[in-house]
Structure 1
Amino acid sequence: MKLAQLSTRYPPGLGGVERHVAEISAELGARGHTVRVLTSDLYREYPWERLPASVLRQERTAFGTIERLPVWSLPGGLHYPFFRGLMRALEADPADVVHAHTYGTHQVAVAHRYHRRTGTPYVLTAHFHPITSIEGGWFRHRLRGLYDRRLAAPIVADAARLIVQSKEEERLLRALSIPLPPVRIVPPGYTPFPAPADGVQFRARYGISGPYVLFVGRLASNKGLGALLEAFAPLARREPTASLVLIGPDGGMQAVLQARVRQLGIADQVHLLGWVPDEAMLAAAFREARFFVLPSEYEAFGLVLLEAMGQGT
């Protein structure tokens, strides 16, 4: 069977959805299907950054192909990635089934139009986030509300299947009071890390001593990191050997967090490491942590929780 996977980003872009698409594409390929990933040339959206030229825009893999198409966006609060040529790409090499990822995105709308035009069935994996967790403040929340009320119903209802990762995600979608297709709850799995590197080596590389609290994820406004800093500050004053370690790429909040750390007077006890690409070293970060925190306002699932539990944290 020929399958087309549509996703806003794909590795080396970082994030849970990106990893999810990569892993199911590989698994589908291992089962004998031909998978074509149609994604964007973005590394991240906040701040807007494209993949470097060294990342191939067309790539052959064991499961099929990856095609990274250009995208553009309106500025400011109207931010919304639009694909250039996604419909043409689907029409040029028709798939038996289209699998579109992430409720409310342009690729899902294109999958719907393609279905209307050709009859090709599409599956929607929602990766749903409620309005309250949408980045960008009240204006973005109002735009999302308009989408939910006026645009979402046919796009969601016409899907052959709606895949969610938990009963709570299904409940939130049903609360929109739009017609839903048959729903399947499919919790995500994850590929375990390799054996962790030596903890002493991890601490020496990143200059960390003493017990520490660990967060891993994008430094984004919906991750609850401001509240985490406020909660850590009194602990830092009471326990001067304790540290807070934040691992992850900037999702638009790094400068804000750095400023708040200075205001709270805890700069010596907060370590922003950026992304740690070495998975053995990342596993060591989990293993060495006193405990792991995920203060997000909302997560459709949160693969990082599985990663932490996998290391016994």
Structure 2
Amino acid sequence: MRQDTSLQNPVRALTVLHAIPSIALHHGGPSQSLSGLISAMCAQAPWRVGLICGHDPHEPPLSGGVARHDIRYINRRFWCPHPASLPQMAKAIEEADLVHVHSYWNGFASAMIGLAQRIGKPVVLSPRGVLQRKAMAQSSARTKAAYSSLIGRRQLTRISGYHFQTQEEAEASYGVSDQPSIIIDNGVNVPEFTVDRAALRTKLFGHFAADLNLVFLGRIARIKGIELQINALRLLHEHGVAARLHLVGPDGGDQGRLNAVAKQLGVADRVHMHGPVYSDTKQDWLRAADAVLMSSEFENNSNAALETMAAGGALIGTEGTIPDDPVNRGAALRVVRQPEALAQRLRQPIPLTIRDKARHYVGQHHAWQPRAARMLTFYESLL
């Protein structure tokens, strides 16, 4: 597989149309990372940037330079476009020089790729981990296999270029042959703060502010491995540590089961469900926590990890959730994927320098502008 490593600036303007089913905040990392990427692209004039997706009242901020195309769906579970939106989708594709589709295994992505290939426009696909066989096996494996044999394999072999977020994703993705590809990981914006951390702890944790307050932020879904965190909470309780686990995010289908697990383990009164949060409130939770936990069964260049470090959160993840670089630089902590290991680490003092090192790390190594420049150069190479 050929990979583009050029850092040169492109030489001519073009219009790129980004396509994703939705950038609603409750969909997590892809929404956040795409908004950062296209906003950074808009700052690099004279590039023209479009976005086609469904509308949602809770979306990340976008640059005013983005040409927005809102479409409708007949089914939001599988993201099947409404027939009335198909002409709008085709028109947006015709006006673009290149179409960049984010995600796969849904009706919208398949329709956009099919229309673009029929019209004759180059397509860049960012699978965002969903083509990795490990991820494909997590849900609807038979449906994906059937779809692939009918349509998917043919579509994927005709993709003009791939954008992967890690080398592992590039090597383990289904349906990829020798098309050009580029590896660009996620960026993040480092926010400024006006409220001190002690005030946030009082606001969010109330009379539990003196306890060890642990936060998970993301979809409450089985793949996130939250049961491991609840087991670690039980071990902390058995060792006399007054700890609490705050689950902050929308229910991804696992909330009821996790409530039952917490009750069975005797820690139901120490597991708090807060639902989804938006805007600056998310950063408040990350800053206020004594530790932010990640224990997913599968992660692909986690945006949540970057957001936690950007907020100055003390990030502790299990193997497979946090890459080596921030751990080696003292910006995050990592343990083996076992409740005992996580509980043991939480009983130890967390380095006082980790929060400042985390913000410095992402500011130095995960800015959006150079990533946008590399992506635009990659587009140019495909035209």
In the TM superposition, what whole-angstrom CA distance separates every residue of 1:79-120 from its partner, at most 9, and x where no partner exists?
A: 522112454113324211111011323233223322332211
Report SS of the residue matched to 1:8: strand
Partner of 2:79: 81
Partner of 1:71: 73
Give the drift of 1:36: 2.2
Within 5 Å, which residues of 2 pair with 1:14-53?
Answer: 14-32=27-45, 33-41=47-55, 51=56
Give the drift of 1:168: 0.9
Do the aligned residues in 2 keep the contact of 1:108 with 1:155 (CA within 8 Å)? no
- What is the alpha-carbon distance in structure 2 between the residues aligned to residue 213 and residue 198 of structure 1? 18
Report SS of the residue matched to 1:197: coil
Report SS of the residue matched to 1:151: helix
In the TM superposition, what whole-angstrom CA distance separates every residue of 1:264-295 from its partner, at most 9, and x where no partner exists?
A: 2212222222233242x543433343333211
- What is the alpha-carbon distance in structure 2 between the residues aligned to residue 60 and residue 39 of structure 1? 13
Give the drift of 1:202: 2.2
Question: For residue 297 of structure 1, what is the amino acid of its counterpart?
Answer: E
CA change 1:238–1:102 in 2 (3 A) is same
Do the aligned residues in 1 keep the contact of 2:198 with 2:288 (CA within 8 Å)? no
Q: Structure 1, unaligned stretches of length 5 or more?
A: 42-50
Do the aligned residues in 2 keep the contact of 1:36 with 1:66 (CA within 8 Å)? yes
CA change 1:151–1:180 in 2 (3 A) is farther
Within 5 Å, which residues of 2 pair with 1:108-187?
Answer: 108-129=109-130, 130-133=132-135, 140-173=140-173, 176=174, 178-187=176-185
- What is the alpha-carbon distance in structure 1 between the residues aligned to residue 182 and residue 236 of structure 2? 43
Within 5 Å, which residues of 2 pair with 1:218-233?
Answer: 218-233=219-234
TM-score, normalization by structure 2 = 0.68
Do the aligned residues in 2 keep the contact of 1:196 with 1:283 (CA within 8 Å)? no
Q: Supply the RMSD in Å over aligned alpha carbons.
A: 2.8
- What is the alpha-carbon distance in structure 1 between the residues aligned to residue 303 and residue 117 of structure 2? 34
Is 1:195–2:193 an aligned residue pair? Answer: yes
Do the aligned residues in 1 keep the contact of 2:81 with 2:107 (CA within 8 Å)? yes
Q: Which range is displaced more, 261-270 or 154-163?
A: 261-270
Partner of 2:104: 103
Partner of 2:268: 267
Partner of 1:47: none
Is 1:304–2:331 an aligned residue pair? Answer: no
- What is the alpha-carbon distance in structure 1 between the residues aligned to residue 238 and residue 147 of structure 2? 45
- What is the alpha-carbon distance in structure 1 between the residues aligned to residue 178 and residue 80 of structure 2? 25
- What is the alpha-carbon distance in structure 1 between the residues aligned to residue 307 and residue 34 of structure 2? 17
CA change 1:20–1:180 in 2 (3 A) is farther
Question: For residue 295 of structure 1, what is the amino acid of its counterpart?
Answer: S
- What is the alpha-carbon distance in structure 2 between the residues aligned to residue 69 and residue 91 of structure 1? 12
In the TM superposition, what whole-angstrom CA distance separates every residue of 1:124-166 from its partner, at most 9, and x where no partner exists?
A: 11102345445975xx122123334553322222222100000
- What is the alpha-carbon distance in structure 2 between the residues aligned to residue 72 and residue 260 of structure 1? 36
Report SS of the residue matched to 1:293: strand
Count of residue correspondences? 291
Within 5 Å, which residues of 2 pair with 1:250-265?
Answer: 250-265=251-266
Question: For residue 172 of structure 1, what is the amino acid of its counterpart?
Answer: A
Do the aligned residues in 2 keep the contact of 1:100 with 1:107 (CA within 8 Å)? no
In the TM superposition, what whole-angstrom CA distance separates every residue of 1:197-224 from its partner, at most 9, and x where no partner exists?
A: 3223322223342122221111122111
Do the aligned residues in 2 keep the contact of 1:37 with 1:66 (CA within 8 Å)? yes
Do the aligned residues in 2 keep the contact of 1:97 with 1:120 (CA within 8 Å)? yes
- What is the alpha-carbon distance in structure 1 between the residues aligned to residue 146 and residue 133 of structure 2? 11
CA change 1:10–1:283 in 2 (3 A) is closer
CA change 1:290–1:158 in 2 (3 A) is same
- What is the alpha-carbon distance in structure 1 between the residues aligned to residue 251 and residue 285 of structure 2? 19
Q: Structure 2, unaligned stretches of length 5 or more?
A: 1-13, 315-383
**Aligned-pair identity (%):** 22
Greater relative CO, 1 or 2 (CA 8 Å, sep 6+): 2
- What is the alpha-carbon distance in structure 2 between the residues aligned to residue 206 and residue 288 of structure 1? 8
